[in-house]
Amino acid sequence: MPSNRRTVRQYGLHWGSVGIAVVALVLATPFALNSLAPKDLDWGRLSDISQTYGAISAFVSAAALIGVALSLVYQARQTHIQNEEAHRSAHRELVLLTLSDPAYQVCWEPPNTRMTQERWRQLLVANLIVSMWSSDYKLGLYDDRTMLAVLSDYFRGEIGRAYWHNSGPSWRAYFNESRHARQRRFVNLAEKAYTTAVAAGPPLLTRDYFEPPSTPATQ
């Protein structure tokens, strides 16, 4: 991760330096021409040329500045994506550590509804899944229609629905006042998908997810 950040920073510094160099070259050119011009030069004609040159130089300068601005925007977005990935990685490692030892499970906040320890472990994994979708949506990798379809499919199942029943109130409490509009929008989409799934009927139970293993035929 640090090497990626250095690459992005070097990219921004490189193009920023190029833009500054272009602007400096454009501004310095008239002075260089003045020092090199012969004494009998037609300054009236040169004035006409310089006006044309000035228009061109203004365009070049504007283009250079736009290039610098775009490179800074790109750098900021890449940094934001890297920070999101670092946060997701840390969250994933923490959940995996929790799952490795039952003693760690009580280090988290208690569940909002009473449940078995096995169900709590399942909801920890469900939290990783929903959090991943939340980050992807926040980064613009999903549009509203696709995200709603993904969540609607997820809440057809017992674990997904149990997760939002337990943790949905916490998501709403944490993010309804968030300054990130897409984060608030994600919670609204999840709430809409969950409400629609509940209204459609009972969830698919975990015992019905898969076909039972076939029994070998007896001779």
21 and 55 together in one domain: yes
Q: Do 187 and 171 contact (CB within 8 A), yes or no? A: yes
- In whole angstroms, how far apart are CA 110 and each of 25, 75, 80, 105, 116? 64, 40, 31, 9, 12
Does residue 104 sit within a domain?
no
145 and 200 together in one domain: yes
Does residue 55 sit within a domain?
yes
Number of residues in the chain: 219
Domain of residue 181: give its range: 109-206
Q: Count CA within 13 A, CB hemisphere, residue 92.
A: 10
Q: For residue 181, how far is the Cα from the chain centroid?
A: 13
User: What would the two tokens of residue 128 be?
Assistant: 């990783």
The one-digit pLDDT tens for each residue of the chain (219 residues) are: 444 445 545 555 565 666 666 666 656 665 555 555 555 555 565 565 566 666 666 666 676 667 667 666 657 666 766 666 776 677 778 788 888 888 888 888 888 888 999 999 999 999 999 999 999 999 899 999 999 999 999 999 999 999 999 999 999 988 887 788 899 999 999 999 999 999 999 999 999 998 887 776 555
User: What pLDDT does 103 receive?
Assistant: 87
User: What would the two tokens of residue 213 be?
Assistant: 């293993």
User: What pLDDT does 94 receive?
Assistant: 78
20 and 51 together in one domain: yes
Handedness of CA 193, 194, 198, 199 (dihedral sign): negative
Residue 45, Cβ density class (10 Å: 0-12 exposed, 13-18 middle, ≥19 buried): exposed
User: What pLDDT does 87 receive?
Assistant: 67
Evaluate if pTM is beyond 0.75.
no
Q: Which residues contact 19 (CB under 8 A, 6 or more apart)?
A: 64, 65, 67, 68, 71
User: What would the two tokens of residue 32 be?
Assistant: 């260089």
Does residue 212 sit within a domain?
no
Number of domains in the chain: 2
95 and 6 together in one domain: yes
Does residue 216 sit within a domain?
no
24 and 78 together in one domain: yes
User: What pLDDT does 106 receive?
Assistant: 85
75 and 161 together in one domain: no
46 and 67 together in one domain: yes
Q: For residue 47, how far is the Cα from the chain centroid?
A: 52
How far apart (Å, rounded) are the C-alpha atoms in residues 153 and 188?
Answer: 16
How far apart (Å, rounded) are the C-alpha atoms in residues 63 and 59?
Answer: 6
88 and 114 together in one domain: no
Domain end call among 71, 99, 127: 99
User: What would the two tokens of residue 166 be?
Assistant: 């337990």
42 and 82 together in one domain: yes
93 and 115 together in one domain: no
120 and 188 together in one domain: yes
User: What pLDDT does 20 receive?
Assistant: 66
